[in-house]
Structure 1
Amino acid sequence: MASENNENDFKARLTIECRPPVKEITLAVSLLVMGSLGILLGLLMLSTQTGRTRIHGVLLTLLAMVFFIPGFYYTRIAWYAYRGYKGFSFSSIPAV
């Protein structure tokens, strides 16, 4: 009887601790989307010379890459953890 209680407590703790961090995943997806759109817009500015010089397109592309890289990284971790790949868990995503 005591071992059943210990097993149930362990399962309850495991269930509580393995819930996906919704705020962190939302932030990661937002960074991924904004970074992707920024890169596309920056490359469009580079190719059409929107603005006075090409430097605006270069700067926007670089800034968008700063958004894209962590967004892609943490979205990938969240997706692999959701799919149950070995070595990936939601605990790998840092708290906001």
Structure 2
Amino acid sequence: MVRKDASTYTSPGRYQRLSQEDDGFVDAQFKAGPSRIPWKAISYAMLLFAAGTLLLVIGSLLVAGYIEEKYADRTWPLIILGALMFIPGAYHSYIAYYAFKGYDGYSFDDIPSYDDD
């Protein structure tokens, strides 16, 4: 069987000569396209971050006594709810900020998307 030379054929397609060493991987499989920015998820994270911060501040003011005693029964629910909102909001806002700035290791793919179309 005669071996054909790929350089003699003209074709409209772009082809790359394969390496003689087969490692089982193709370079194109590791190239990812540009990631889409999940705007809904980022806005939801910012909302959680802001609301959680507000609830934590109000709960802290209740514990410190800067707000009247008659609202003291709402102290711990506000702090717990504020923490539950603050933690994921701060985490995803942090990832979004660093991905937007282009730091290595941070990508918008790390933020769960809510079917942004």
- TM class by shorter-chain length? 0.7 to 0.9
**Matched residues, number:** 86
Which residue number in structure 2 is paired with residue 86 of structure 1?
104
Which residue number in structure 2 is paired with residue 57 of structure 1?
75
Deviations 1:32-65 (A, max 9, x none): 0000010001111112263446442122011100
Q: Which one of the candidate residues 61, 64, 86 is aligned to 1:68?
A: 86
Q: Tell me how large the CA RMSD over aligned residues is.
A: 2.1
The answer for unaligned runs of 5 or more in structure 1 is: 4-12
Aligned-pair identity in percent equals 33
Using structure 1 for the length normalisation, give the TM-score. Answer: 0.77
Deviations 1:13-39 (A, max 9, x none): 823xx1210000000000000000100
Mapped partners of 2:99, 2:59: distance in 1: 32
**Consecutive aligned runs of 4 or more in structure 1 exceeding 6 Å deviation:** none
The residue type paired with residue 99 of structure 2 is A
Using structure 2 for the length normalisation, give the TM-score. Answer: 0.65
Greater Rg over alpha carbons, structure: 2
